Amino acid sequence: MRRYQEAVYRVAWLVVRDSDLAEAAALSTFVRAYRALPSYQDELGLMPWLIRIAAAESRQQRRESGRPTNSDRPVDRQTAPHFPSSSLPGLVGTAGMTPLEREALAEGFDRLGEDDRLVIAARYLFGLSREDAANALSIASGLVDEALESALGRLHARLAVGA
């Protein structure tokens, strides 16, 4: 649990976008994972399996709370988990970015839809392989690159509009 708690919380936060709900979803993720251990299939991989559970639990927490799913809802930067832009090499050349450019990148990422945030996070923030990302996101392996390309295109468009 200690090894994966930060990643599970980040997934939960990407879905619910609220620290209290993300904590509740992370906790319920580990409870659900513990109960499902007898049916765990090692070929799926532990991290993708936990991400899949965390996304499902987070969606359930969001539904039960009545929170909307729209991506334009403001994000509280003080309670949001830190996603270093240096871990987003496929987005833009982040090495020479100014703090303002990094903030614009974070805001653009935050305004993406849930599926876009999750596919970018799976590949770049969590460093999952194409197959592991597909397992985590419950999509066909062949669709991961297409989903990622579309998500990055939407992010680039948001960044161009904000520039």
Q: What is the pLDDT of residues 26-43, one digit of tens each?
A: 999 999 999 999 888 777
Least confident of 64-78, 115-129, 149-163: 64-78
**Alpha helices for 37-162 (secondary structure H):** 46-65, 99-110, 114-120, 130-137, 141-162
Please give the class, per CATH, of domain 1-73: mainly alpha
Overall pTM > 0.85 = no
CA-to-CA dists, residue 107 to 73, 110, 117, angstroms: 11, 5, 12
Per-domain residue ranges of the chain? 1-73, 82-163
| CATH class for the domain made up of 82-163 | mainly alpha
Residues 91 and 105: beta-carbon distance below 8 Å: yes
